Structure 1
Amino acid sequence: MPMADYVYFQFAFAAITVILLAGSLLGRMNFYAWMMFVPLWLTFSYTVGAFSIWGGGFLHQKIIDYAGGFVIHLSSGVAGFTAAYWVGPRHSHDRQNFPPNNIIHVLGGAGFLWMGWTGFNGGSSFAASGIASLAVLNTHLCTSTSLIVWVSLDMIFYKKSSVIGAVQGMITGLVCITPGAGVVDSWAAALMGVVSGAVPWYTMMVLHRRSAFFQKVDDTLAVFHTHAVAGALGGILSGLFAKPDLLSMLYTSGNHTGLLYGIIDGKASQGLRQMSYQLAGAAFITVWNVVATSFICLLIARIVNLRMVEEDLEVGDSAAHGEEAYALWGDGEKMPRPLRLRMPPRIPFICRRLL
């Protein structure tokens, strides 16, 4: 493919990653600190992981990461959680009362996201090929299965289904299939959807509420659960279900095979080696993002405050940007007084003639 297209595609991946990370920091990070954080994190954290796995680094041609389960989603989830630890939590009343502003808009945005992921995964083969077609099909299979599992668990344990829960299940399915979209069969994609709907649901809805550590770190949009957990699961399951015939079309060096096919074909050692690479890749991305993100946050904290001051947190958007995201009528405004005319009433001309 033309180099310009490849550069733009990778640029979009990098931009998406830092946007995902921002979901962990909403509602309290100093905007000046954020403007410093973005170029530093993209340069010294994201780029290192992307180069190590995709660009010729020490994990290149070893890790199965078709479209960024480790490079994008695991890194954004871990880095977001780490940055949220250093920045600190939102204002107490924001944490206690943080309802969605418009669920209809959430649903519409989720639809656009799901549709766009077709290009995200389908385009990662860099060619109009069978791999691209399989990646698109697997993306929809895994995502729909994950959504159904998440909503089913909500109904079983909470007796209610919700749009927000359905969207969370959709996201975890999209994330989970990303590292293996073009290298697993469709039945495996459906199984990955079951896992991606169940495990992140448990970590978010059960483990998060029981863990003092998770409660201490204010991950605003639960990016750790929807992206780090789901991305790690996708990478590990890709190492389990990846099909050798499909892998040979993408990887030019080494004898890649998923652990399951390695056992079936009598090549268990190759499958175990691949699984060890997947686990090593997940560990590397996790550790690197914790260390690099912590260093960047501590460096920025020496220059500007990472966190908005309490007075600005009370005011909100207008304190940081001089404008309100939602200027609803009555939010601190007064009704204008009606215009009162002080001049005497004018008598119509015909009435004056009669007088």
Structure 2
Amino acid sequence: MELPSNLQPNEASPEWMNRADNAWQLTAATLVGMQSIPGLVILYGSMVKKKWAVNSAFMALYAFAAVIICWVGWGYRMSFGEKLVFFLGKPGVALDADLLLGQAFLGMFPTATMVFFQLVFAAITVILIGGALLGRMNFGAWMLFVPLWLTFSYTIGAYSVWCPDGWLAKLGVIDFAGGYVIHLSSGVAGFTAAYWVGPRASGDRDSFPPNNMILMLGGAGLLWMGWSGFNGGAPAVASLDASLAVLNTHVCAATSLMTWLILDTIFFGKPRVFGAIQGMITGLVCITPAAGVVQGWAAMLMGVFSGSIPWYTMMVLHNKLKFLTQVDDTMSIFHSHAIAGSLGGILTGFFAMPKLCRLFYMVPDWEKYIGLAYALQEDRTSKGLRQMGIQLVGILFIVCLNIVMTSFICLLIRTLVPLRLAEDELQIGDDAVHGEEGYALWGDGEIFENSKNNSVFDMEEFVSVPSKSLDDV
């Protein structure tokens, strides 16, 4: 029996391509992209002081655009291409139709789809780093930091953990959708960069209220819902495992949010919006390395841990350790991504279910992936301990990589341009840096009059023209 004409393979839809998988992968990639723009653009722009709204949102927008160019220029093939060394691929352009229209190294869809899917992951990682630097980094330094960090740090982590030829991938580390490559990397890199850039102005650090709480919740909501693509797209197939990953993602996030709110209410007397957003993020981060390889009850337990341990490190331990208080991490990226990402990696090593690992990896040696909890049940304790050890090795590698490379990049950049804005720019904010302000409404036209960099029109000339009366019309 022949297939219907619309399902028959043709030149534009070859036999090796699964249309459903391709459609889901493109959808998942778009959801992840929307986490950055508009998600993090809105979240950053509304979560900071009014005077930093434009700068913070624009840092995210610029990073997204810059990563696209770097990714197709050399980043993709350094991360997933032909091996150069055991931790890195050979740089090369990913723009040729012969490459992009061929089958991806993983999945039954074109390489173009894989390039796009991995691109949005790379972009959100750099944008997350920016969260630690809001309110004081020189934008020129940020423009240099983004391509340098993507090239010399992200590609190494991605190749090592996710590329089939990567040394950690061969060792058997489990990182379902980026707990290590994205969240642990961005948390450590953001904290390290914050150390080198220096703190915000003292007034900003003492008081840094959000300029729009409702928009902040809207940005957080885009981030949460976009995580369906973040974790659901990791299997590179519209499969049972993708469905489980999506459900586990939301179960863990909701549990973590509730746990954080309960702790805030008990110890501070009020359920805080900031706490809800932080608990949501730590839950999403924690489940990411495990989303499709743990059962639902394990995802809920992970939510309890991700809502309590990062809460403790952020709300209690942070104030007790002098080094943590000295580094000005604006959005607490270290706690919400580095701590939660490490926690997720360790818990993955404990809760990973062999059957689900088989569904995800679909490789002959799938039995090497086993969480310690199941290893104890099956009398394979040594295998479970080995998996825990591999997870810890992965954490150590990503931490060391990002401390070293981020420090090197920041030291290199500061020989060219200042890492931190000048003191007078720190006091003024957006208008000093960009010549624009986020909330210059009609009644605040004097803001535009004082700006030397208005690229739209000369507001001073505009306001000097008298309004026409009805008789003149």
Q: TM-score range by the shorter chain?
A: over 0.9
| 1:138 pairs with one of 248, 264, 275 | 248
Aligned to 1:320: 433
Alignment pair present for 1:173 and 2:286: no
Q: 1:177-256 residue pairs with structure 2 within 5 A?
A: 177-251=287-361, 252=363, 253=365, 255-256=368-369
Alignment pair present for 1:93 and 2:203: yes
Percent identical? 62
Aligned to 2:471: none
Aligned to 2:111: 3
SS of residue in 2 equivalent to 1:60: helix
Return the offset for 1:111.
1.4
- Paired with 1:327 and 1:82, the residues of 2 have a C-alpha distance of 34
Question: Which deviations, in whole Å up to 9, do the C-alpha atoms of 1:238-270 show, x marking residues without a partner?
Answer: 000000011122332352100110010010111
Aligned to 2:161: 53
| 1:265 pairs with one of 374, 378, 383 | 378
Q: 1:323-338 residue pairs with structure 2 within 5 A?
A: 323-327=436-440, 329=443
Aligned to 2:174: 64
Question: Which deviations, in whole Å up to 9, do the C-alpha atoms of 1:56-100 show, x marking residues without a partner?
Answer: 211014110000000000000000000000000000001111011
Return the offset for 1:316.
1.0
5+ residue gaps, structure 2: 1-108, 450-462, 467-473
One-letter amino acid of the counterpart of residue 161, structure 1: P
Return the offset for 1:50.
0.6
Aligned to 2:139: 31
| 1:301 pairs with one of 391, 399, 414 | 414
- Paired with 1:82 and 1:117, the residues of 2 have a C-alpha distance of 26
Per the normalisation by structure 1, the TM-score is 0.92
- Paired with 2:306 and 2:445, the residues of 1 have a C-alpha distance of 41
Question: Over the residues paired in the alignment, what is the CA RMSD in angstroms?
Answer: 1.7
| 1:16 pairs with one of 124, 136, 156 | 124
- Paired with 2:424 and 2:210, the residues of 1 have a C-alpha distance of 24
Q: Which is higher, the Rg of structure 1 or of structure 2? A: 1
SS of residue in 2 equivalent to 1:180: coil
Bigger shift: residues 319-328 or 71-80: 319-328
Q: Kindly tell me the number of residue pairs found equivalent between the two proteins.
A: 339
- Paired with 1:332 and 1:215, the residues of 2 have a C-alpha distance of 38
One-letter amino acid of the counterpart of residue 26, structure 1: L
- Paired with 2:431 and 2:211, the residues of 1 have a C-alpha distance of 18
Alignment pair present for 1:147 and 2:257: yes
SS of residue in 2 equivalent to 1:36: helix
Aligned to 1:288: 401
Higher relative contact order, structure no. (Cα contacts within 8 Å, ≥ 6 residues apart): 1
- Paired with 2:150 and 2:345, the residues of 1 have a C-alpha distance of 22
Aligned to 1:346: none
- Paired with 1:331 and 1:79, the residues of 2 have a C-alpha distance of 40
- Paired with 2:193 and 2:446, the residues of 1 have a C-alpha distance of 33
Bigger shift: residues 104-113 or 4-13: 104-113
- Paired with 1:293 and 1:118, the residues of 2 have a C-alpha distance of 30
- Paired with 1:192 and 1:80, the residues of 2 have a C-alpha distance of 24
Aligned to 2:239: 129
- Paired with 2:174 and 2:436, the residues of 1 have a C-alpha distance of 45
Distance 1:331 1:151, change over 3 A: farther
Aligned to 2:387: 274
- Paired with 1:321 and 1:172, the residues of 2 have a C-alpha distance of 32
Return the offset for 1:198.
0.1
- Paired with 2:360 and 2:110, the residues of 1 have a C-alpha distance of 18
- Paired with 1:190 and 1:230, the residues of 2 have a C-alpha distance of 15
Return the offset for 1:211.
1.8
One-letter amino acid of the counterpart of residue 52, structure 1: S
Return the offset for 1:206.
0.6
One-letter amino acid of the counterpart of residue 437, structure 2: E
One-letter amino acid of the counterpart of residue 218, structure 2: G
- Paired with 1:80 and 1:33, the residues of 2 have a C-alpha distance of 14
Return the offset for 1:163.
1.2
SS of residue in 1 equivalent to 2:148: helix
Return the offset for 1:331.
9.0
Return the offset for 1:318.
1.5
5+ residue gaps, structure 1: 340-355
Per the normalisation by structure 2, the TM-score is 0.70
One-letter amino acid of the counterpart of residue 166, structure 2: G
Aligned to 1:349: none
Return the offset for 1:173.
0.4
Distance 1:279 1:263, change over 3 A: same
